[in-house]
Amino acid sequence: MAEIKVMKAKDMKKVSSRQKVGKVLGLTATYLFLGIMAIIVIFPFYWMISSSLKEMDEYRRAIPTLIPKVLDFANYVEVFTSEDLLLGKLFYNTLLVGVVSTFFSLIITVLSAFAFARLEFKGKNALFALLLATMMIPGELFTITNYQTINDFLGLATLGKALGNQFLITIGNWRNTYAVLIIPFLVSVFYIYLLRQNFIQIPNELYLAAKVDGTSDFKYLCKVMIPLALPTIISITILKMMGSWNSYMWPRLVANDEAHRLITNGLRTAFTNAEGVTDIPVQMAAVAVVSFPLFLVFIFLRKYIMKGVSRSGIKG
């Protein structure tokens, strides 16, 4: 075996200076690339805010201004007062649906995750596998049947029609109610899975110790499991709330009347007149208003979102 070529002192100076130059160049290129990409990534947000503060005339300019010449808050005033976008009602509906569905969803998720993580019963593993398998199926497949289901829940509406019973018809037809926006999505197999994984990591000895002390399962769940799994529960809460905020298709199908419409649905069609011409600055103001709560969530709860997301891949 030949020994590696020994570099002479002169060479070494050359090598060491070349090495330094390469390092500096590499680092500069890295920062340059990241900087450009970062600008591309946040530019839409900037453009949204910048446009929302422009008057229509300024927005229409052939050579656009990056920063509005005159800060014009009229667009925001219009967003909050316009008949076209009943913002108050939309916010109210979305929050109501979000809070209620998150609350019940959490209860159901915690109970189920606990059962799967700690309790022993026949068929547990088979059931869990079955539930996980349903995660593979695209939601659209369920939507088709669920649309039928909520129009005629358990056949009650049909029965009511046959009997001439108005009460049964009302019970059976969920269209344009809050319930239809909440109930079908209360159970998420993914959240159950996420929380179960977290529960399992809590040492079983704690559970056995609690049993020896005579603590009931439910008390153990409330006093030990939930506090220990709190970060995951917070992640689930945020993701679920964001889901309500961003949901579009299902509300659009089943509850698109003015009384129950959610924010995203209201937003998509607002400020476009009958000819399909859009008042972009006002629209951008509306988008900014809708996005604002999400930014707040992002700024303060980023950690939990990232944690939840890195285990999911499911958006909202």
Show contacts with another protein in window 38-67 (CB under 8 A).
38, 40-42, 44-45, 47-48, 51, 59-64
Q: CA-based diameter of the chain, in Å?
A: 102
Q: Examine residue 120 and tell whether it contacts another protein (CB under 8 A).
A: yes
Q: Examine residue 177 and tell whether it contacts another protein (CB under 8 A).
A: no
Site string for another protein, 254-273 (x = CB under 8 A): ----------x--xx-----
Residues in region 100-119 near another protein by CB under 8 A:
107-109, 111-112, 114-116, 119
Q: Examine residue 276 and tell whether it contacts another protein (CB under 8 A).
A: yes
Residues in region 141-160 near another protein by CB under 8 A:
141-149, 151-152, 158
Q: Examine residue 138 and tell whether it contacts another protein (CB under 8 A).
A: yes
Return the number of the residue (16 or 88) whose C-beta is nearest another protein: 16
The site that binds another protein (CB under 8 A) totals a number of residues, namely 106
Q: Cβ of residue 88: shortest distance to another protein, in angstroms? A: 18
Identify whether the C-beta of residue 289 lies closer than 8 Å to the C-beta of residue 208: no
Q: Examine residue 235 and tell whether it contacts another protein (CB under 8 A).
A: no
Return the number of the residue (143 or 197) whose C-beta is nearest another protein: 143
Return the number of the residue (12 or 259) whose C-beta is nearest another protein: 12
Return the number of the residue (142 or 178) whose C-beta is nearest another protein: 142
Q: Examine residue 164 and tell whether it contacts another protein (CB under 8 A).
A: no
Window of 72-80, 162-170, 209-217, 224-232 that interacts with another protein by CB under 8 A: 209-217
